[in-house]
Copies of this chain bind each other. A is one copy, B any other.
Amino acid sequence: MFQILDIIGTMAFAMSGALTAMNKKMDPFGVFIIAFVTAVGGGTLRDVLIGRTPVGWMLDLKYVYVIGISFVLAVIFRKKFDKLRTSLFLFDTIGLGVFTLIGLEKGINTGLHPVICIALGTMTACFGGVIRDILCTEIPVIFRREIYATICILGGTVFFLLRKLNLDNDILYLTTSLVIISVRLMAVKFRWYLPTLENK
């Protein structure tokens, strides 16, 4: 089950990357690389910072294949993305939940403090998008207005609070991802934005 959600999230992230790259009129190599880093960039940064090398996608080819398929689908259906927007948004939200959990888990396995684990969860879920935006020379969208990373931090906090109750691991994971997914859906539905901070 978790495996399938991981794949769904990877596909959604890869497609969002491919879409951004095509908006920038890149060539197929550029589109593939942007799709790739959007999908695995956050986890790669996490692995490098905690010293788990070779990084994840080098040891499990599943990610390369899933991203390759997503890339091909994104190119074929590139003019029909508007119709798929709702599905893509749902998949992306699943990715947000699953990737945060994976990051939290790797942090715990490395023996790091909960605060750092939450940072790693957020990084896993959000920094692929940051690298995507930087490679497209845009200021990362999650730094500007979208409530996105904040939801991962909230999810991570809920995770560690619940963990103190000695819940079963399955329930712990399920609750955390449901919190992340439902807050994300509400944030978009009710147009919750973070205010921008200005100093002028």
Contact = CB atoms under 8 A, between A and B. Distances in A.
Interface of A: 19, 21-31, 33-34, 44, 48-51, 53-55, 58-59, 61, 64, 75, 78-79, 81, 110, 112-113, 115-116, 119, 130, 134-140, 142-145, 149-150, 193-200
Number of copies of this protein chain within its complex: 3
A54 B50 contact: yes
A196 B26 contact: yes
B198 A25 contact: yes
A108 to B, nearest CB: 13
A148 to B, nearest CB: 8
B19 A199 contact: yes
A197 B22 contact: yes
Contact of A135 (B48, B113, B134, B193): B134
Contacts of A138: 137
Nearest to A75: B197
B142 A139 contact: no
A150 B29 CA distance: 7
Contacts of A26: 139, 143-144, 196-197
Contacts of A22: 197-199
B81 A199 contact: yes
B49 A55 contact: yes
Contacts of A134: 134-135, 137
A60 to B, nearest CB: 10
Nearest to A53: B51
Contacts of A116: 54, 58, 61, 64
A150 B107 CA distance: 36
A163 to B, nearest CB: 18
